Chain A
């Protein structure tokens, strides 16, 4: 049931607000699966957009059904996903688009994400991307390290609301994954769409040094 919030203070007084606010500021994407958080964002969208604009941020709502906070000023720190996070995110988005994932309501095995990466990039390129500093590597050890890094990346992306960890092997894909496909989505030329998103601050070009190592902020 929709709550009509007359004033911002009514929104802030809601029990879910502190947790939701902290999560958004840490880069969390919030969708229908988040229940009370999503309902609060929908009901108080107008108030919260104005509220976060004062911090130099945009509260973005995508028609795919998710919210996130995008810093456009200097008040709130901004960070970029690491290149490996992007690779895994794009692979997960591909799995999300695959009709095979529909059969199980979006629940897929971690292995399927890895298969998608291998199919698209090839094993060697994948190992080079995940282990860039390693010049010589034992194949078995390298594969093991890649699997471990993949698990770690999926865990990190899950914390940001792109997926939900079900158990050790299973993961439920969430609609925010479509953000990884944003520049190649729509009818516009991908290059134009990318330039527009870069101008809006939604993405940065990896070659221009926009990417950071996981965990670092600027």
Chain B
């Protein structure tokens, strides 16, 4: 897993150097564009230890002599790598052919002669391959010396850029004397510091693993060596933190001056380049703070462990006794006693219960006293009243309804309104627009209004 993770890190580092996607990567402000470009080119890397060994061997050979290799040289180198990494490997020629093809497919090895089938080819490692090999071979770690040197170089570069910015009078001079040095020289120097920071992170991880290994190998005897490791790393981080704190403020001040001049001159590209370097510097400063805090916590933890666990149990008897206790093979089982006060009861505010009366209908006597009835047909009476209203010139249903319902008791008016509408439609000629208006009848009800006319030839 560790190797895979390292390889992934190397791949991402190296992938930045791929020619095709270089332009996209150079615009970090648009991650979606970068990702889209990556998705379009679908770059991928798959390297096992033998492939990596092959690349490293070629890289080392290129340092000693010419940087291109003939096919025969490639096969020889592969043979040597097999001897070192897989001594039992068979069919080495065939495997070398496949390995070369694999590296070429992944753009790690390129044919550089251009003679095609005419003669055997000349090959060279690509920048991608060099990047991967550099990751495994270089041990760039941030040290007091490297940080001081890089910071001093950066300071000189920025001072020169500031002087150039003050003297710049044309867009061309802004581009060549300010923007370009910021984009290339300053950014490379800052990237150098960042790369060494990552190296230091890896080294710290190694230290932590080393402390574990020391304790596992020699429990009590490892104390002084563990303390030595902790002290040296703490001292390094402290020194680096102090340098970072001092130098970043000077560098940021120079960059602020450049930024102000660029802003005044309207040099957009220089402004963007300045902002990018400032972001990188902020990141570096933040790294210093966060690593110091994290290391301080770890430092205290390990010191406590050494003092409370290792020193008090030089023979590691405690671990064995506790294991026996847990397994139930030694001692009586026990349980710890604790304070067990119940949480304080917080009484909630109680709202008085509102008693709502039950929903009922008014009681009325079921049996009604017999009453005299005139014997008139109510529908005939209604027709009579509606016709009279129409004869009096009522032209709208609301007028007729208002007039007729006024003659009946209030509880019956709503039901009567429906009958009035029915009767009026039969006796007159109802017409209505698409949107019929709602008209109030004595604040009691609303009806949709119609126009009413006399039925031609209709009854009078």
Chain B residues contacting A83 (CB-CB under 8 Å) are 333, 335
CB-contact partner of B216 in A78, A99, A117, under 8 A: A99
CB-CB under 8 A from B334, the residues of chain A are 86, 183, 194, 197-198, 203-206, 210
> Does the CB pair A97–B340 fall under 8 Å?
no
Which B residues are CB-close (under 8 A) to A47? none
B98 at the interface (CB under 8 A from A): no
A27 touches B339 (CB 8 A): yes
Is the contact region of chain A dominated by helix, strand, or loop, or is it mixed? helix
A94 adjacent to B301 (CB under 8 Å) = no
Most buried by B among A22, A97, A100: A97
Q: How far is the CB of A175 from chain B (nearest CB, A)?
A: 7
A79 pairs with B332, CB closer than 8 A:
no
Contact A175 B304 (CB under 8 A): yes
Chain A residue nearest in CB terms to B327: A120
Given A120-B327, A194-B331, A63-B339 contact (CB < 8 Å): no
B7 within 8 A of A: no
Given A24-B339, A65-B304: A90 touches B326 (CB 8 Å cut-off): yes
A-B contact count (CB 8 A): 168
Measured in the bound complex, the distance between the Cα atoms of B343 and A104 in whole Å is: 35
Within 8 A of B (CB), among A78-93: 78-83, 85-87, 89-91, 93
Q: Which of A86, A94, A201, A202 is within 8 Å of B333, CB to CB?
A: A86
Bound state CA distance, A70 and B341, in angstroms?
11
Q: Which of A38-46, A146-154, A184-192 contacts B (4 or more CB under 8 A)?
A: A184-192
Does A180 touch B at the CB level, under 8 Å? Answer: yes
Chain A residues with Cβ below 8 Å from B309 are 96-97, 178
Q: How far is the CA of A71 from the CA of B337 in the complex (A)?
A: 8
Given contacts A121-B326, A203-B334, contact A77 B216 (CB under 8 A): no
Query: Does B297 have its Cβ within 8 Å of any Cβ on chain A?
Result: yes
Would B332 and A81 count as touching, CB distance under 8 A? no
Task: Assess whether B336 is in contact with A203, with CB atoms less than 8 Å apart.
Answer: yes
Residues of B within 8 A of A80 (CB): 335-338
Contact assessment for B332 and A194 in the assembled complex, using a CB-CB cutoff below 8 Å: yes
- Are A79 and B323 touching (Cβ within 8 A)? no
On whether the beta carbons of A68 and B338 are closer than 8 Å, the reply is yes
The smallest beta-carbon distance between B227 and chain A, in angstroms, is 13
The reply to whether the CB of A135 lies closer than 8 angstroms to some CB of chain B is no
B378 lies within 8 A of chain A by Cβ? no
Cα A81 to Cα B325 with chains together (Å): 16
Q: How far is the CB of A114 from chain B (nearest CB, A)?
A: 13
- Say yes or no: B326 contacts A120, CB within 8 Å: yes
A35 to chain B, nearest CB (A): 12
Inter-subunit contact B337/A204 (CB<8 Å)? yes
Instruction: Tell me whether B215 is interfacial, beta carbon within 8 Å.
Output: yes
Question: Is the CB of B429 closer than 8 A to any CB of chain A?
Answer: no
Of B37-45, B164-172, B193-201, B204-212, the one touching chain A: B204-212
Tell me the smallest distance from the CB of A148 to a CB of chain B, in Å.
Answer: 21
> Is there a chain A Cβ closer than 8 Å to B156's Cβ?
no
CB distance from A136 to the nearest CB of B (A): 23
Interface residues of B in 328-359 (CB under 8 A from A): 328, 330-344
Q: A34 within 8 Å of B by Cβ?
A: no
B319 at the binding interface (Cβ < 8 Å): yes
- B313 / chain A contacts, CB cutoff of 8 Å: 97, 185
Residue among A94, A175, A184 with max Cβ neighbours from chain B (10 Å) = A184
- Per-position contact with A for B54-89: 1 when CB-CB < 8 Å, else 0? 000000000000000000000000000000000000
Between-chain CB contacts (< 8 Å), 15 pairs: A26-B343, A27-B338, A68-B339, A70-B339, A85-B335, A86-B335, A86-B336, A93-B322, A97-B318, A105-B298, A179-B336, A180-B336, A190-B330, A207-B332, A211-B335
A-B contacts besides A83-B335, A178-B309, 5 pairs, CB < 8 Å: A68-B339, A71-B340, A97-B313, A181-B322, A205-B335
A binding-site residues for B, Cβ under 8 Å: 22, 24-27, 32, 57, 63-65, 68-71, 76-83, 85-87, 89-91, 93-94, 96-100, 102-106, 116-117, 120-121, 125, 160, 175, 178-181, 183-185, 190-191, 194, 197-198, 201-207, 210-211, 217
